[in-house]
Structure formats: structure tokens, C-alpha cells
Amino acid sequence: MPESTDARPNPISWTGGGDGFLTLIDQTRLPTDLVYLNCQSVEDVWQAIKRLSVRGAPAIGIAAAYGVVLGVRDEALLGSPPPAKGPSEAKRAAHAAADHLATSRPTAVNLFCALDRMRGVIDSLEDELPPAQIGKRLLAEAVAIHEADRAQCAAIGRHGAELLADLGSGAGIITHCNTGMLATGGDGTALAVLFTMHDDGKKPRVYADETRPLLQGSRLTAWELMQRGVDVTLICDSMAAPLLRDGKAQAVIVGADRITANGDAANKIGTYGLAVQAKHHGVPFYVAAPTTTFDLALQSGADIPIEERAAEEITEPYGKRTAPEDVPVWNPAFDVTPAELIAGIVTERGVISPVTEEAVREMVSEG
């Protein structure tokens, strides 16, 4: 199973064979506590995704793929033979697991890409296969999804570092939300670019938006960057504009949860505003994402379903009421940045710039 290559924590790991279990870092407990969750069932994985114990578009997809394996685990342990006709109970259980996991969060397209790959494997298997063999085949596919994302992260890091090489050492770069190892199967997307620059001696000065209301920037991104020795300064989301005005940032780079055919990008709420501010101040705004994050079936960002989350995330963060009782709340988890505000999209295959529908389709269809 994929394991960390160094002493850093491993956010997503599988223990055992087809009858094993999934282990996740509970990201809701960071940065004060490093707690691991052992997911023994499909419902465990669904709940972990829903409550943001695992988050980040690629990481959600990877976790869901392993969740499908858990869907057949009980059948494998029972060792029951398949019925004489029709698909085996294990295959039905795997499809049911995929269907359930698909309802956990609506915006990140990586979730659906990973589940479609798992469904393809399920459908390709003979009905006569014992449940244990079905679980073994599905586990191999989940591991392949995990390893592919690890490689994509490394490639994104290289392409992004080359793109930003002209900024020179010590350049100020703003990032939003969390796009590192906690959000992916490797070093991340936008953070992989910053890690690669740091390792190459460019030593960027990173400004991490705290990312309200759930503070993924302060809780997760600042923690990750400090773990790697990267120069990071935490700022409130509302501080980005004066930072850009004063010339302290030479670039902005963020991740994405879904990118449409025309290059519009959905990402954590607050990204759109940051892109507008960067454009106003003449600072390039970049998106880093694997090609699995592109959804060419959607023409523009207007077609992206935007998840809305509980009011309590704003009115009672961490159990502390900070707003009047019964005040109406609007809490979308994501917003959409129009392609015209994006200077380039960094993928594992290269950089899309300028961002046009033709360039997007050409890059994504290469594979």
C-alpha cells in the first residue's frame, strides 16, 4: 500500500489486504492534535468525508476508492458463494458502496472520477469470482488511483516551480485553503509548487489566508508549511488586498475542486474575491490541479453544483457562539473563479496559459 517515504505523517493509508481497513488523519483535530481514524466500513468513510475529517478534492476521491473496497469486505469475510445467476452479492455491495459514497459531497469532481474507475472494475469482473478476489481487484485499483495522484502531485510541483522560477528567491506568494499532502495523495497541488520551489532553493515567502469559516489555511496549510520549514505568514482573508497593494506578493496560487471546459474553477469560498483583488493589482493568479479535477461535461462554472454547509459552521465555530440566535446564514463551501481572472492552470501535463476552452480541452484530452 502507498506509504510515506519519510517521517512525515501519512494522511491516507490502507492496512492489510482486501480484508483490511483505511486509516485517515482526522483533519478536524489539527493543528493541536494529530489523531488517526480507522475506517472499518463504508459509512465510516462517508462520515469522514462529510464532516471534513478528510478533505481536498484528490484526497476525497482516494478515500472513496478505498471505501468501495470496504463495501465488499464483509462479503469476503463471510466467504459466501455467488448466486447461480446474476451478479454476485459482493459486486452488488461494491456498487452500493460507490453509490452511497457519491452522496457525501457534491462539488469535488475527483470523487466521481475515482468512483467511476471503481465501478468500471466492478463491471469488468466475472460474477463467479469469490468475494475475496473481488475485494483484491478493487483494492489494486484503489492503490493505483492513490499512486497516480502521488505522481501527479510531483509533476504539478515541477511544472509550477518552473512557471514561477522568474520570481526569484524570496518572492511573496499568497495561497488559500489547503492544497498539500492533507488534500491529496502526495505533496499536494498548489502547495507542491511551493514545496518544490523551497527544495530548489527559491525559498518563497508564503502568505496563507486563514480561510474562513473552517480555517483550513490556519489549521492545515500553516501547519504543513511549518512542518517542511517553508517561510509562512498567516493572514486573515481580508488582509490580502492591502498585501497586494503594498507589493508584498508577486503571485497567487490556489487549488481547485472542479474546473469546467472553459477554464472556470471552483475552489474554497473566498478564492473568487482573492482573484479579483489580484487582477486589480496586476498580480498573476494561478490554479494548480490534476487533470482529474477537470469536468469537460460542464461548459462553465455556472453549471457546477455548489455545496452549502450548516449555518453552525459560521455562527458556532468550535462550539462557541459568535452570532445572534436565529440570524439567517448563507454558507456556500465554494465559489467559482472565472477563467479570465486566471493567468494559468498548472497540471501534471504542463501549464494551460492563456486559459481558453481550446487549450483546456487540448491539455485534458492528451491522456
Q: Could you give the strand order of the β-sheet that contains 265-268, starting from the edge strand earlier in sequence?
A: 294-295, 258-260, 265-268, 334-337
Residue 88 has a pLDDT of 81
Closest C-alpha among 150, 165, 289, 175 to residue 231: 175
pLDDT for res 19 = 87
Cα gap 231→289, rounded to integer Å: 23
The answer to whether domain 12-151 and domain 157-364 are alike in fold is no
Return the number of other C-beta atoms located less than 10 Å from residue 192's C-beta.
Answer: 29
- Collect all residues with Cβ–Cβ distance below 8 Å to 239 and sequence separation of at least 6: none
**Percent of the chain predicted with pLDDT > 90:** 87
Strand order in the sheet with 251-254: 232-235, 205-209, 172-175, 251-254, 285-288, 344-347, 350-352
Q: Is the pLDDT of residue 153 over 90?
A: yes
Parallel, antiparallel or unpaired: strands 350-352 and 294-295: unpaired
Q: What share of the chain is helix, strand, coil (3-state, %, to 5)?
A: 45, 15, 40
H helix runs in the chain, sequence order: 42-50, 57-78, 89-101, 109-124, 131-163, 190-199, 216, 222-227, 240-245, 271-280, 312-315, 357-364
Q: pTM above 0.85?
A: yes
Residue range 4-30, pLDDT digits in tens: 445 688 999 999 988 899 999 999 999
Are the beta carbons of 104 and 50 closer than 8 angstroms?
Answer: yes
pLDDT at 359: 98
**At 318, is the pLDDT very low, low, confident or very high (cuts 50, 70, 90)?**
confident
Average pLDDT, the chain: 94
Q: What is the pLDDT of residues 219-265, one digit of tens each?
A: 999 999 999 999 999 999 999 999 999 999 999 999 999 999 999 99
12-151 adopts what CATH topology? Four Helix Bundle (Hemerythrin (Met), subunit A) (1.20.120)
Residues with catalytic annotation?
A: 257
Of residues 311, 333, 22, the one with CA closest to residue 177 = 333
Percent of residues, the chain, with pLDDT higher than 70: 94
- The predicted pLDDT at position 83 comes to 53
Over range 360-367, report the average pLDDT: 90
Where along the chain do its domains lie? 12-151, 157-364
Cell of 274: 482573492
- Tell me the average pLDDT across 40-66: 96
Q: CA–CA separation, 35 vs 231, rounded Å?
A: 25
**With contact defined as beta carbons under 8 Å apart, do 187 and 223 qualify?**
no
In this structure, whether the domain defined by 157-364 belongs to CATH 3.40.50.10470 is answered with: yes
Interval 74-106: pLDDT, tens? 665 545 555 544 568 889 999 999 999 999 999
Question: Coil, strand, or helix at residue 134?
Answer: helix
Mean pLDDT for the stretch of residues 302-331: 96
